[in-house]
């Protein structure tokens, strides 16, 4: 542990033998005061007491006036200059406050909370990575529209643990809920002026306290301790059901914005050390949000480690997804360093050893795209998987309709199906890649097969926001109310996309609502839409119910067949405990040739997979892909002729197969579609 880490280990409010101490970091302040408020009257200050400077730029105070449940804030004064943001008249949020109370749109106060909670003996599910299926969801949006919840629980932490929510998660078969940011956050002033709100929540002002808005009204009225306990109860009940909770965390920037932004905490305590700036006070922004935290400062690194430890140990969180993670690993020269102290600390910290660590391996700065370069401890979002799969099933088919040529064959698709070894060739094997077709940011699954262009007018930015590079295909009609034939084509394309995701090596991530074909009406940047546009739909049409059942069937097959989720990269010779056997065949049932791989018009691919478990159990599957709109009769692999092939899933069908169908010799595929077989 570094000297700064040792000093930081008790930052914030702590109690020893009933005596309270507060510790605050600032390397630039000249004075810091603890401000104690009346817990019943937030406008009434009971006392202001100065803190004393100490080693490693830690200011501290031990006083009998520091008590459990205390409502407090911090004032700080210091030098004036372009790199500083001191204003002794502002009451600041303690960066280490476990509870934060919203007083009004501008003012927040910190609360000293207790870690005591009855976990009732429930422990973390500890799902292995090769069995993990992530469900990216919004803590509010997942349940806001659920009619089976009482009105006061919809869109809340408590709603996450409601039996109807858990029943849905268990029905589709996901193992881990990845919640969009729930750290205390605020909305940007320009959104508030337009009557909008930062729904996604990537605008954090405190890395320890849960966001108040996702608590029930009763818990909000009772205060931060009740909100923490409500969230802990939700985590406990999800764990009881065998479902992990992963947090999307935004340590790369804060809600204070650029040099002209508002001051809530870090800027008022020590802007010159918390944020990357030049000597003129210009912020180095690699996040696109106005500021970047300075991870060349060991105290900022300590802040993240302490936050991760708190959520892992006290809140019992199972893992983290790091937003714009390249910023977290930029050194003193603002250059990405795969051996950065923060990454090393996460890798080496025993208290974090069982937590899943997932990174978004890019930011918007120079040299920002770092996919495949993070330490092996981290799994990484794989945008190459997303783009390759979308091209194969969507834009290639659109191109073929328009020009008669697909432009892409099956070579890169096979690489993505196999775990993207060209990017993630480390000891973690395929567990290094988190595969996804959609995420919160971008088109939903329904919309990527229904819209050629974005429709973001509701965001109030003249449709200028959001990416234009979607690799989407509307199948001949833009948006809703297409005819029955086009709608059927779209549903089949959606099944092809989801099947490719769930039949690929790696860790799959599904966006909440995609299993129900939720639409955002073509909005591919719904970050400010806290409306039915963003909320998961619970009133399903017959087709949406069929689609959900089909996805649930796919997930069940993935979980039942280890050959669909190999933990190691494949070889071409024989299955071992550490390596899947994978062989690739063409439509004639023969091993793929170089010409097959390199021909951009090769649109049929057959994968045979075989795994061997520690106890000697063998599992074999065959996946057949037809990426053209024509029907194909595909010969089953010649070396396996005469064996029993059972067709267990077919994307051409609206509903899952009720019984496996025995197939010999060859199989006919509708175009485009996927078939999955198991071998006895």
Q: Which residues participate in catalysis according to the annotation?
A: 323, 360
Q: Are 207 and 307 in contact (CB under 8 A)?
A: yes
Q: Are 393 and 496 in contact (CB under 8 A)?
A: yes
**Burial group, residue 589, by CB count within 10 angstroms (0-12, 13-18, 19+):** middle
User: Which tokens in the block code for residue 256?
Assistant: 């204070």
User: Which tokens in the block code for residue 509?
Assistant: 């991530």
| Cα–Cα distance, 495 to 486 (Å, whole number) | 14
DSSP string, 602-618: --EEEEEEEEE-TT--E
| Cα–Cα distance, 517 to 446 (Å, whole number) | 5
Close Cβ partners of 594 (under 8 Å, ≥ 6 residues apart):
none
Q: Are 518 and 145 in contact (CB under 8 A)?
A: no
Quickly count helices (H) and strands (E) in the chain: 17, 25
- The angle that helices 298-309 and 266-274 make with each other, rounded to 10 degrees, is 130
Q: Are 588 and 635 in contact (CB under 8 A)?
A: yes
| Cα–Cα distance, 153 to 268 (Å, whole number) | 36
Bridge partners, residue 293, by sequence: 275
Determine how β-strand 604-612 pairs with β-strand 19-25: unpaired
User: Which tokens in the block code for residue 634?
Assistant: 């595909």
User: Which tokens in the block code for residue 442?
Assistant: 């971008």
Q: Are 270 and 29 in contact (CB under 8 A)?
A: yes
Determine how β-strand 31-37 pairs with β-strand 356-359: unpaired
Bridge partners, residue 511, by sequence: 136
Backbone angles phi, psi at 33, to 5 degrees: -125, 145
Close Cβ partners of 196 (under 8 Å, ≥ 6 residues apart):
187, 459, 460, 528, 529, 530
Backbone angles phi, psi at 342, to 5 degrees: -65, -45
Using only C-alpha atoms, the chain has a radius of gyration, in whole angstroms, of 26
Q: Are 651 and 673 in contact (CB under 8 A)?
A: yes
Closest C-alpha to 235, from 309, 160, 345: 160
| Cα–Cα distance, 119 to 183 (Å, whole number) | 21
Bridge partners, residue 45, by sequence: 37
What Cα–Cα distance (Å) separates residue 129 from each residue in 79, 321, 354, 428, 432? 49, 14, 11, 10, 9
Neighbours of 5 (CB within 10 A): 18
Q: Are 270 and 81 in contact (CB under 8 A)?
A: no
Close Cβ partners of 549 (under 8 Å, ≥ 6 residues apart):
655, 656
- ∠ CA 325-327-330, nearest 5°, is 120
Closest C-alpha to 176, from 379, 399, 452: 379
Bridge partners, residue 381, by sequence: 434
Q: Which residue has the tokens 């091993």?
A: 591
């Amino acid at each position: 542990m570094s000297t700064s880490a040792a000093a930081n280990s008790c930052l914030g409010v702590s109690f020893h033998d009933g005596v309270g101490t507060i510790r605050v970091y600032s390397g630039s302040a000249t004075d810091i005061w603890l401000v104690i408020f009346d817990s019943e009257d937030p406008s009434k200050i009971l006392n202001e007491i100065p803190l004393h400077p100490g080693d490693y730029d830690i200011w501290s105070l031990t006083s009998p006036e520091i008590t459990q449940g205390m409502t407090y804030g911090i004032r700080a004064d210091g030098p004036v200059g372009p790199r500083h943001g001191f204003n002794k008249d502002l009451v600041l949020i303690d960066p280490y406050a476990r509870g934060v109370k919203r007083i009004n749109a501008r003012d927040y106060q910190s609360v000293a909370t207790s870690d005591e909670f009855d976990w009732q003996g429930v422990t973390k599910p500890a799902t292995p990575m090769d069995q993990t299926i992530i469900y990216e969801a919004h803590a509010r949006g997942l349940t806001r529209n659920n009619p089976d919840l009482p009105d006061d629980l919809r869109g809340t932490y408590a709603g996450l643990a409601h039996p109807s929510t858990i029943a849905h998660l268990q029905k589709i078969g996901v193992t881990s809920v990845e919640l969009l940011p729930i750290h205390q956050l605020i909305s940007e002033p320009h959104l508030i002026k337009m009557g909008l709100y930062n729904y996604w929540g990537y605008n954090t002002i405190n890395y320890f306290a849960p966001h108040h808005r996702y608590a029930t009204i009763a818990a909000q009225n009772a205060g931060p301790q009740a909100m923490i306990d409500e969230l802990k109860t939700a985590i406990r009940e999800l764990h009881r059901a065998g479902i992990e909770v992963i947090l999307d965390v935004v340590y790369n920037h804060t809600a204070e914005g650029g040099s002209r932004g508002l001051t809530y905490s870090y800027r008022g305590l020590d802007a010159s050390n918390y944020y990357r700036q030049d000597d003129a006070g210009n912020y180095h922004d690699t996040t696109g949000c106005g500021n970047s935290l300075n991870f060349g400062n060991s105290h900022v690194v300590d802040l993240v480690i302490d936050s991760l430890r708190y959520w892992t140990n006290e809140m019992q969180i199972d893992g983290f997804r790091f937003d714009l993670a390249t910023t977290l690993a930029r050194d003193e020269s603002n250059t990405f360093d795969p051996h950065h102290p923060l990454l090393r600390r996460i890798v080496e910290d025993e208290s974090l050893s069982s937590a899943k660590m997932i990174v978004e391996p890019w930011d918007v700065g120079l040299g920002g795209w770092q996919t495949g370069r993070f330490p092996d401890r981290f799994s990484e979002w794989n945008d190459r998987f997303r783009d390759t799969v979308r091209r194969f099933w969507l834009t290639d088919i659109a191109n073929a309709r328009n020009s008669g040529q697909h432009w892409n064959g099956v070579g890169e698709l096979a690489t993505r199906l196999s775990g993207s070894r060209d990017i993630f060739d480390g000891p973690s094997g395929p567990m290094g890649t988190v595969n996804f077709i959609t995420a919160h940011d971008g088109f939903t699954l329904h919309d990527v097969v229904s819209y050629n262009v974005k429709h973001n007018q509701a965001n109030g930015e003249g449709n200028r926001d959001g990416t234009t590079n979607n690799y989407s295909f509307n199948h001949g009609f833009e948006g809703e109310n297409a005819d029955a034939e086009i709608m059927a084509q779209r549903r089949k394309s959606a099944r092809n996309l989801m099947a490719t995701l769930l039949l690929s090596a790696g860790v799959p991530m599904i966006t909440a609502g995609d299993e129900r074909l939720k639409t955002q009406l073509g909005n591919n940047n719904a970050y400010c839409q806290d409306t039915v546009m963003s909320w998961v739909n619970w009133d399903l049409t017959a087709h949406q119910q069929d689609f959900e059942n089909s996805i649930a069937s796919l997930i069940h097959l993935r979980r039942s067949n280890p050959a669909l989720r190999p933990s190691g990269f494949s070889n071409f010779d024989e299955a071992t405990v550490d390596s899947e056997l994978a062989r690739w065949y063409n439509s004639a049932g023969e091993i793929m040739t170089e010409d097959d791989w390199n021909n951009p018009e090769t649109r049929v691919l057959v994968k045979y997979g075989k795994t061997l478990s520690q106890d000697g159990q063998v599992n074999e599957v065959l996946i057949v892909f037809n990426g053209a709109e024509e029907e194909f009769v595909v010969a089953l692999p010649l070396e396996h002729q005469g064996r029993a092939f059972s067709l267990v899933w077919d994307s051409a069908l609206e509903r899952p197969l009720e019984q496996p169908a025995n197939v010999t010799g060859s199989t006919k595929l509708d175009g485009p579609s996927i078939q999955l077989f198991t071998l006895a």
